[in-house]
Amino acid sequence: QVQLVESGGGLVQAGGSLRLSCAASGRTFSSYNMGWFRQAPGKEREFVAAISWSGGSTYYADSVKGRFSISRDNAKNTVYLQMNSLKPEDTAVYYCAASPRGLGHNEYDYWGQGTQVTVSS
């Protein structure tokens, strides 16, 4: 089992940047595929980005491709989401998630509590 705690959210102007972090507990972090999801008010939760357990493969939603970058540091049990060129439509609660299996959107068993990102126009 793994526990996840996100940080780094906040208020930023459009065009700005934020870096989210997700710290994981447990000694098996490096065996989990990791993902970031987000949920805006009144909308369904949506996939943002994912990274394989080794960091060798990354995947992005079309809406963030070229602007966001996911990375991980297995020595620090942490996964990151670098968000650049932020837009008001990126405003949402961002969640970190861990999958002990694949990278499919429905394979994440463990979730953090979320961190709010607000982008002002």
Rounded to whole angstroms, the Cα distance separating 88 from 74 reads 32
Buried b (16+ CB within 10 A) or exposed e, 71-80: ebeeeebbbb
pLDDT in tens, the chain (121 residues): 899 999 999 999 999 999 999 999 977 899 999 999 999 999 999 999 999 999 999 999 999 999 999 999 999 999 999 999 999 999 999 999 999 998 888 899 999 999 999 999 9
Note the pLDDT of residue 105: 84
Note the pLDDT of residue 70: 98
Rounded to whole angstroms, the Cα distance separating 45 from 32 reads 21
Q: Is 83 exposed, middle or buried (0-12, 13-18, 19+ CB in 10 A)?
A: buried
